[in-house]
């Protein structure tokens, strides 16, 4: 059973999840050929995963049977457990604090076919992936014990993936993670000082400067952030202020899918299909629309390694200026 521990020195939380050591893997080093499937995520293997919590499928097809296009299932090796309770610590010691890891950990299988990149999906396929995120967030929000959702994709070995079949993950925690709490707090401080959303201000300034813009549509801006932590770090932001990802409309989801897929295609083309992560930053479930916070998608190519200086200090050293990255990625 996974548990949440808090470091007595730093206050940082970790999840100790021994079950995850048993995860199977079919991933190989970059450049080596993949398995080509089939695998547990492929159509026809539905019985090899926990039962689906969401699927987009053919009208005549039955749950947990072939006929689906996108399928969301609980992770078989979860970092969070639904079968526990969040608010009563198993053991409450001031110094060494342990809490049960209540939460959700789901896998969004993005295609019934053994594809390995979201760029191989049709535009409609990516739209359904984005819509599955929205649907699951809206559903998880109904559980008042869950406070924060983290949608993310690990792609490639260096990105922390263990299976090559195209998929992403959704976790929901009973607390706001430290890194998110800090973003929210700083954004609120900015809002109080300047009476505007720091993200809206950032978008305005970046569009005016232009040098870090990768692309712009009427709805979205794609840019390499000013203080990029890694080479080719890229953010996608909605131009209109919006704090909660689960409130996107179906139409906007389709436009986002287009921008997300095109951005990833540019990154894959330029960096020869690198390992990468993307993640969606959004607002906690227990908040109303926030004037000071803005949902964003962060794409983090994993072409450099996190080294000792970064571990020690939290400061990243990035050899590629975001202005250069944006100019190479621009479309």
Give the bridge partners for 238, in sequence order.
Answer: 220
Q: Are the beta carbons of 277 and 155 closer than 8 angstroms?
A: yes
**Residue 181 beta carbon to a second copy: minimum distance, rounded to whole angstroms:** 9
**Residue 58 beta carbon to a second copy: minimum distance, rounded to whole angstroms:** 30
**Residue 86 beta carbon to a second copy: minimum distance, rounded to whole angstroms:** 15
**Residue 318 beta carbon to a second copy: minimum distance, rounded to whole angstroms:** 6
167 catalytically annotated? yes
Q: Are the beta carbons of 325 and 270 closer than 8 angstroms?
A: no
Q: For a second copy, give the closer residue by CB, 218 or 308.
A: 308
Give CA–CA dist 221/236, Å, rounded: 6
Q: Name the active-site residue from 45, 105, 165, 167.
A: 167
Query: In whole angstroms, how far apart are CA 31 and each of 38, 117, 269?
Result: 20, 15, 15
Q: For a second copy, give the closer residue by CB, 47 or 93.
A: 93
| Structure tokens that stand for 113 in this block | 């076919």
Give CA–CA dist 213/225, Å, rounded: 9
CB atoms within 10 A of CB 188: 15
Give CA–CA dist 137/289, Å, rounded: 15
CA-closest candidate to residue 267, choices 178, 153, 105? 153
Q: For a second copy, give the closer residue by CB, 64 or 196.
A: 196
Give CA–CA dist 117/292, Å, rounded: 34
Q: Are the beta carbons of 265 and 148 closer than 8 angstroms?
A: no
Give CA–CA dist 116/153, Å, rounded: 12
Q: For a second copy, give the closer residue by CB, 36 or 179.
A: 179
Q: For a second copy, give the closer residue by CB, 2 or 125.
A: 2
**Residue 275 beta carbon to a second copy: minimum distance, rounded to whole angstroms:** 8
Task: List residues with catalytic annotation.
Answer: 167
């Amino acid at each position: 059973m996974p548990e949440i521990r808090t470091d007595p020195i730093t206050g940082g939380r970790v999840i100790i999840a021994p079950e995850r050591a048993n995860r199977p893997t079919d991933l190989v080093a970059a450049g080596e050929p993949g398995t080509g499937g089939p695998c547990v995520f492929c159509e026809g293997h539905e019985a090899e995963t926990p039962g689906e919590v969401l699927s987009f499928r053919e009208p005549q097809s039955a749950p947990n049977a072939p006929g689906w296009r996108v399928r969301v299932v609980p992770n078989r090796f979860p970092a969070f457990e639904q079968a526990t309770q969040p608010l009563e610590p198993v053991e409450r010691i001031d110094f060494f604090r342990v809490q049960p890891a209540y939460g959700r950990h789901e896998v969004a299988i993005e295609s019934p076919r053994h594809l390995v990149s979201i760029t191989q999906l049709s535009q409609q396929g990516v739209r359904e992936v984005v819509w599955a995120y929205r649907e699951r967030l809206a559903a998880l929000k109904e559980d008042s014990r869950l406070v924060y959702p983290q949608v993310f994709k690990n792609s490639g070995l260096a990105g922390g993936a263990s299976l090559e079949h195209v998929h992403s993950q959704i976790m929901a925690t009973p607390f706001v993670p430290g890194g998110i709490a800090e973003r929210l707090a700083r954004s609120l401080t900015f809002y109080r000082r300047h009476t505007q959303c720091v993200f809206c201000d950032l978008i305005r300034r970046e569009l005016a400067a232009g040098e870090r813009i990768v692309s712009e549509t009427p709805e979205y801006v794609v840019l390499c952030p000013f203080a990029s932590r890694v080479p080719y770090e890229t953010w996608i932001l909605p131009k209109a202020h919006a704090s909660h990802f689960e409130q996107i409309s179906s139409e906007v989801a389709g436009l986002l899918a287009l921008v997300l897929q095109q951005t990833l295609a540019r990154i894959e083309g330029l960096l020869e299909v690198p390992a990468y992560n993307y993640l969606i930053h959004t607002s906690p479930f227990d908040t109303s629309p926030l004037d000071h916070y803005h949902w964003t998608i962060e794409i983090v190519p994993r072409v450099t390694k996190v080294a000792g200086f970064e571990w020690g200090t939290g400061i990243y050293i990035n050899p590629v200026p975001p202005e250069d990255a944006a100019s190479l990625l621009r479309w």
